[in-house]
Each structure stands twice: as structure tokens, then as C-alpha cells.
Amino acid sequence: MPSDHPRTAQYVDILSRLIFPGQPDDSPPYHENPGNIYPLLQRVCDLSAVELADLLCLADAHHVTVRALEALRRSATAFPGHDRIRSWCEGTLAHEDARITHAVENLIPICAALEAAGAQVAVIKTLDHWPDLGSDLDLYTDGDESTVLRVMAQEFDAQQEPRSWGDRLANKWNFKLPDLPELVEIHVRYLGQTGEQKALARRVLARSVTRTVGAHSFRVPAPEERVLISTLQRMYRHLYFRLCDMADFAILLHDGAIDFSELRRAAELGGIWPGVATFLQLIAEYVNSYGGQLEIPREVLAAVPSHRLRVHLGGKFLRVSKGPAASLYGSQLLNAGRHADFRALYRLPLLPPLAISAFVAYRLTGNDKGVW
């Protein structure tokens, strides 16, 4: 679906209402009652086949296909006369379930092979969206790059994708495996848009937890590291949110799974506490605008540089204004100077020219992949 599709705002609204609670936290789960979704079911019934395809394309881009269509399917099943939408949901969900199962089953031997070669590994970002799955499979490892390249080539006949300037700075590689539609993206030893985060990266494995998906168990970051990784991605690199980000972290906030004291210690270590606080505030405000009841501790909100900042729909995604993001970058750089973090001091100044180059490349060619 084109990013300037005239009905994008309508589709984002439908998806948001399907995946967010819409009721106070002390009420029964909103989607247990299919009648709560009935008004949305009627809206979707009014869409043509082409418009349904556009809605699905947007759900896929936001990594909420399973969550949104499961809610819609339950409502369509509960109310007779909606066979068209029920059948559409069931067919799409079956296809998505097969894709996700195949991807997860491919993760198992990759993690095992890296571990056997002495490279500890955690699955990052990818399983945050469960029961949905993103468009690539992200891993973090403390192994060296030669080990990663050897294992992926010899064990899986993986082809290394061309690396952009940003990939090189971030010290990450993308691999294409035979019969696996998703790319495998491996972050090696560092995190951050320029690979500046060394101490935070070490925490990913040191504080990792086990997550069971289906019949399989994976090593994943603890909730605090999940917040840090996504903050780096959303507030310091891409400057936009997907609906899955809102939904994923709404669950952590609702369940009280985040240790805010631990989160602050880690974020200050990497100089990104203002960005973390802003990240959480934006999530709470968006979810609460759809009936949620998320609360952020006052001591966290006190670190937000600008309480006027909101996400806004731009193209397909929920955008963050570049001005506040620039101030977050500045505070990160100042923190690196105060702590004599020479890796960050060397790498972070490379970000502005990289971003400008990506912007120019996109304007000239419509593609910034070689840069960003």
C-alpha cells in the first residue's frame, strides 16, 4: 500500500481499536466479549476486497496482523451473516501462522549453532511482538564477527546481504537463508545506531531470561533491556513507531513487569534516560487515547525533555518530530563526554552526516538502503 494512501488514517484507527483494550484495567479483557468489536466489524464489512488488502498490508507493516485479525475473527464468528470477513480472517491467519511457525523453527538451529561455536546469543525484538512476528529475525551475540560469518555460511549456506554504512557502524550483518523469506539480522557485540553502546549491549546477555514460544525456549532480553533496545531503535534511529511497539510495551507497563530503578540505572549508563522516558510517555499517551489506563511513574516523566511531544501519522507510521530527537542525540553525546566513553565519542558524531546522506539519497533515488 502506498505510504500516502488516502485511507491510511482510517486503517490505523481500525487496527488501533482492534488491538488496544478500550476499557479500564479492572474490567474483563475487552476482547473476551466479541460484541465490543462489533462496531469495528461493521466498518471492516464496508471495505471492498481491494481495501481489505490495503488494511492487511498496513497490519503487516505494523506487525499486528495476528492480534488484529484474531479479535475481528471472534466477532465475525459470534455474529451470523459475516461469513465473508470470518473467512478472510481465517485464511489470512492460517497463512500467517504457517509463516511464523516456519520462521521460529529456523531460529532454533541458528541459535544452537552460534552457541556451539562459543557465541552466546539472544533473540532481540523478534519475539517482542508475539503472537505476531516481524519481517526479519533479530539476534544479538557476544561472539566475534568471524565466528558469526563462518557459522552462517558453513552451517546454513547463508548469503551475506550488502551492508550499508549504517550497518557497518552498528556492527550488524543481514543474512539470507535458503527457503527462509525473512532476513536474519545479527548484531555483534554492540548496540546503538552507530554501535556506540557497549555496556548496554553486555546487559542483554548478562540479564537475559528464557521465553517459551510454542514448544521452544529462547534466550531473550529482560524487560528493561527490551525497553532500552526499542528506545534506541525508535527514538535515536528511525524516529517512528509501529503499532506493535505500542502494543508490546503496553503489556509490560500494564503487567508491572518493568523495574524502573534498574531501567534508569541502565539508561543513564548509556546516556539515553531522557529518550527512554520519552519513549514510555509516547506509548502510554497513544494507548490511553484508545481507552487504556497506563500510568508512568512521576520520576520517569520528570526526565522527559518536552511533554508537548506527540506521535503523528506520517506515511504509514507514527512519526516522532526530528527536533526533539536532535536534543536527545545531543544529551547522549554530552553524557559520553562526561563519562569519557571514547567509543561513543568517536562514533556518535558520525550520525548527523550519515542521516543527511540518507536523506539526500532518499530524495534523489527514493532509496536510502546503501546509506542507512
Asked whether residue 356 is assigned to any structural domain, the reply reads no
Q: Which three cell numbers stand for residue 220?
A: 531473550
In sequence order, which residues have a C-beta less than 8 Å from that of residue 38 and are 6 or more positions away?
75, 79
Do 73 and 146 have their domain in common? no
Q: Which pLDDT value is given to residue 30?
A: 46
Q: Are residues 231 and 316 in the same domain?
A: yes
Residue at 320 is within a domain: yes
Same domain, 185 and 259: no
Nearest to 353 by CA among 341, 371, 330, 333: 371
Task: Identify whether residues 91 and 53 lie together within a single domain.
Answer: yes
Cβ atoms 121, 114 nearer than 8 A: yes
235 with 171, same domain?
no
Cα–Cα distance between 349 and 251 in angstroms, integer?
A: 35
Give a yes or no: residue 347 inside a domain. no
- What is the rounded distance in angstroms from the CA atom of residue 170 to the CA atom of residue 232? 12
> Phi and psi of 312, rounded to 5°?
-140, 150
- Asked if residue 183 and residue 93 are part of one domain, the reply reads no
Nearest to 193 by CA among 325, 60, 321: 325
Residue 372: inside a domain: no
Q: Say how far apart CA 107 and CA 123 lie, in whole Å.
A: 9
Taking the complete model, does pTM exceed 0.85, yes or no? yes
Is residue 94 domain-resident?
A: yes
Is 357 within a domain?
no
Domain assignment present for residue 344? The answer is no
Residue 239 shares a structural domain with residue 326: yes
The pLDDT value recorded for residue 334 is: 79
Kindly state the cell numbers that stand for 238.
528511525
Within 8 A by CB and 6+ apart from 244, the residues are: 62, 63, 64, 128, 129, 132, 134
Beta-carbon contacts of residue 297 (< 8 Å; ≥ 6 apart):
260
Do residue 197 and residue 239 come from a single domain? no
pLDDT of residue 299: 96
Paired with 122 in beta bridges are 140
User: What is the rounded distance in angstroms from the CA atom of residue 250 to the CA atom of residue 243?
Assistant: 11
Cell digits of residue 64: 499486528
The per-residue DSSP string of 218-280 comes to: EEE--HHHHHHHHHHHIIIII-EE-HHHHHHHHHHHHHT---HHHHHHHHHHTT-HHHHHHHH
| pLDDT for the residue numbered 110 | 98
191 DSSP 8-state letter:
B
Residues 261 and 235 in one domain: yes
pLDDT of the residue at 371: 44
d(CA 201, CA 370): 25
Q: Is the dihedral of CA 140, 141, 144, 145 positive or negative?
A: negative
Cell 558524531 belongs to residue: 349
Task: Note the pLDDT of residue 345.
Answer: 78
Q: State whether 146 and 94 are in the same domain.
A: no
> How far is 339 from 34, CA to CA, in rounded Å?
54
The residue among 221, 237, 256 that closes a domain is: 221
Q: Which helix (H) or strand (E) holds 332?
A: helix 322-338
How many domains does the structure of the chain reveal? Answer: 3
Same domain as 81, residue 71: yes
For residue 188, the cross-strand partners are 141
Domain's final residue, options 166, 186, 221: 221
Largest CA distance in the chain: 66
Mode of pairing for the β-strands spanning 136-141 and 183-188: parallel
What tens-digit pLDDT sequence spans the chain (372 residues)? 545 577 999 999 999 999 986 544 444 444 556 777 889 999 999 999 999 999 999 999 999 999 999 999 999 999 999 999 999 999 999 999 999 999 999 999 999 999 999 999 999 999 999 999 999 999 999 999 999 999 999 999 999 999 988 899 999 999 999 999 999 999 999 999 888 999 999 999 999 999 999 889 999 999 999 999 999 999 988 889 999 999 999 999 999 999 999 999 999 999 999 999 999 999 999 999 998 999 999 999 999 998 778 899 999 999 998 777 778 877 887 787 887 777 877 787 777 666 665 554 455 445 545 444
Question: What CATH number is given to the structural domain containing 162?
Answer: 3.30.460
Q: Please report how the helices 49-61 and 65-78 are oriented relative to each other, as an axis angle in degrees rounded to 10.
A: 140
Task: Round to whole Å and give the CA distance between 35 and 205.
Answer: 44
Three-state DSSP state, 176: strand
User: Which domain range does residue 240 map to?
Assistant: 222-339
d(CA 100, CA 127): 10
Do both 188 and 175 map to the same domain? Answer: yes
CB distance 142 to 119 below 8 Å: yes
The verdict on residue 355 lying in a domain is: no
Dihedral sign for Cα atoms in the order 242, 245, 248, 250: negative
Q: What is the pLDDT of residue 28?
A: 42
206: helix, coil or strand?
helix
CA distance 81 to 86: 9
Amino acid at 32: E
